[in-house]
Amino acid sequence: MKKAKRIIVWFRKDLRLHDNEALTQALANSEEVIPVYVFNSEKLMGETLIGYQKTGKHRAKFLLESVAALRADFRALGIDLVIRFGKPEEEIFELAKATEANWVYANMERTQDEVQVQNALEKNLWSIGSEIQFFRGKMLYYTQDLPFPISHSPDIFNSFRKEVERFVPVRTPFDTPQIFPKWSTAIEVGELPALTDFGHQPFEPDERNYLPFVGGEAAGLARLETYFGERHLEQYRKQHLELQGLNNSSKLSPWLALGCLSPKLVCTRIKAYEDQHKSNKSTQEFLLELLVRDYLRLMGKKYGKCIFEEGGILGRETKSLVADEEKLQQWIAGKTEQPLINACMQQLAAVGYLSAKGRQLVSSYLVNDMHVDWRMGAAYFQYILIDYDICSNWVNWNIVGGVGPDPKDDKALTIENQQKKLDPQGEYLARWLTDSLQGA
């Protein structure tokens, strides 16, 4: 087949060279590849349901670092990463027009706003005789390998697991491309924006953080190697639901959320670990969490915009929750009656990250003790999380709100008991609570 002259690769939540199907295919099918990243003004500066900016400072910084790292990688390979700021459907269309690109290749997104953007771009491209082609790359599994269509994905996690885990192989990750043909046309590559362009002031990292998260593929790969190479995985089953620590869990979520790391690569690393040190309850538990991630994504695909609505996936209200702005602000500021909740919320505000157990505690408390609309909590997480992932966040919040796919999952937690169990010496409270915020 004759190669296309030029293909644009639109980077989205796949900010990596390894295991990048769109990039690999573009290289194979064209004489020239033009990688581009568009800082989506609506995603960065638009407002959430509760009026907060959609992307808070922690994630904005991590994103900037990740895009800068990707640009440096392309420059080292003799080409560049084109950078734009605005609406992807317009910016990429203009780039395709200017460079007379035959195709735009991109990894597919499935959630409401993202689909609208990719559909609008596709329509624009048709007007200049160019087209868009989509590839996969966010999940461990390919939907086409699953033994059921998305519309029949089991709603109960255990059923999903039984049908998938043993029977569907995880495909081998694509190699990192090493050689890129030089561009034969002049392209305005664009400047990397600054944090202030997104309405945030530069800030110093908080020294209390267990891991200073730095964006980019190399940093993600380095964390992967540290966590597995130093065998912290061995303690995963025992420790991953602890509230604090550097290695109690992998802390890979920010890199996975932006696609600096591919889940298939992480899986391959676990398999290599198992070959070396044997499969055990910890390696199995870790793989299970990656499976949960896929399951939540499939629930997002199956139920579409329902995951953002009050009745959620179930399509009905199950608890009497109120859109109480005052209580929401107490929760956000860490000024509730519960020091443990306050410490968790303080950690979250300070660094944009909270352990899995911390997330379970604060979300359960907002819904089951404060009786606040679960969507307000989800919207705050959307703003604050460094590892915000649309499906992981909204479907997890559906579950807490009692409107998730498997209602059995919805369990209220008794905070006092949890505090005794998780922080008997009060170390966690001492680390994250400031005096003025010990309780309301």
Residues of the shown chain interacting with ligand FAD in the complex, contacts defined by CB under 6 A: 240, 249-253, 256-257, 289-290, 292-293, 296, 355-356, 359-360, 363, 381, 385, 387-389, 392-393, 396-397, 400
By beta-carbon proximity to ligand FAD, the closer residue of 257 and 321 is: 257
Q: Is 357 exposed, middle or buried (0-12, 13-18, 19+ CB in 10 A)?
A: buried
Cβ neighbors of 95 (< 8 A, separation 6 or more) are 8, 34, 36, 82, 84, 101, 187
By beta-carbon proximity to ligand FAD, the closer residue of 6 and 138 is: 138
By beta-carbon proximity to ligand FAD, the closer residue of 111 and 130 is: 111
Distance CA(360)–CA(368), nearest Å, equals 12
What's the min distance (Å) between Cβ of 191 and ligand FAD? 29
E-strand ranges in 92-189 read 103-107, 131-135
Collapsing DSSP to helix, strand or coil, 32 comes out as strand
By beta-carbon proximity to ligand FAD, the closer residue of 360 and 419 is: 360
What's the min distance (Å) between Cβ of 417 and ligand FAD? 18
Cβ neighbors of 85 (< 8 A, separation 6 or more) are 38, 39, 41, 91, 190, 193, 197
> What backbone phi and psi angles, to 5 degrees, belong to 53?
-60, 145
By beta-carbon proximity to ligand FAD, the closer residue of 363 and 368 is: 363
Distance CA(307)–CA(322), nearest Å, equals 18
By beta-carbon proximity to ligand FAD, the closer residue of 306 and 367 is: 367
Sign of CA dihedral 302, 303, 304, 307: negative
> Distances in Å between the alpha carbon of 282 and those of 77, 78, 164, 222, 423?
38, 42, 19, 21, 23
What's the min distance (Å) between Cβ of 189 and ligand FAD? 31
By beta-carbon proximity to ligand FAD, the closer residue of 14 and 389 is: 389
Distance CA(374)–CA(400), nearest Å, equals 7
What's the min distance (Å) between Cβ of 201 and ligand FAD? 24
Structure tokens at 385: 């999380």
What's the min distance (Å) between Cβ of 289 and ligand FAD? 4
Strands 30-40 and 82-86, sheet pairing: parallel
What's the min distance (Å) between Cβ of 13 and ligand FAD? 11
By beta-carbon proximity to ligand FAD, the closer residue of 105 and 365 is: 365
What's the min distance (Å) between Cβ of 431 and ligand FAD? 17
Lookup result for tokens 């025992």: 238
What's the min distance (Å) between Cβ of 388 and ligand FAD? 4
Contact 52, 380 (CB under 8 A): yes
